[in-house]
Amino acid sequence: MSYTKVDSRDVDPIGGGLRFLRDPLDCEKLGVSVLDADPGWTGKEHDHAEDGQEEVYVLLEGEATVTVEGEDVELSAREALRIPADATRQICNGDTESTFVLVGASGDE
């Protein structure tokens, strides 16, 4: 088969509403996650300097703030944010439920 299909709702969430889809989709070089964030939810501050993974956060619905290297970046529904691997980042959800698609890939060939 030349494709893999998965319903993200069938993947068990980690740490609340975060569903990692890399393994269920059999991705080799790309990470994809869906995050359903409750009002006021705050994620862990982290970076990907060690693994070189650049990320894009797409906020499908809701509103949230992503703190990148200490700078607060406000996101509204349908906005996307690219974050370089070595930058620290932390998602802080707003007052409503939000849904993100988080995509990451290493620049390594």
Give pLDDT tens digits for 64-103: 999 999 999 999 999 999 999 999 999 999 999 999 999 9
* Residue 98 to residue 38: CA distance in whole angstroms: 7
CA distance 68 to 87: 6
What's residue 16's pLDDT? Answer: 75
In angstroms, the CA 106 to CA 97 distance is 29
Smallest CA-to-CA distance from 66 within 18, 26, 98, 34 is with: 98
Task: Identify the DSSP state of 27.
Answer: -
| 59 neighbors 79 (Cβ within 8 angstroms) | yes
- Residue spans of the domains in the chain: they are 34-96
- Give 30's strand partners: 105
Domain 34-96 has CATH 2.60.120.10: yes
Order of strands across the sheet that contains 79-83: 18-20, 30-37, 98-106, 53-61, 79-83
pLDDT tens digits, 43-62:
999 999 898 899 999 999 99
Alpha carbon 3 to chain centroid, angstroms: 22
Average pLDDT over residues 8-33: 92
Residue 15 pLDDT level (bands cut at 50, 70, 90): confident
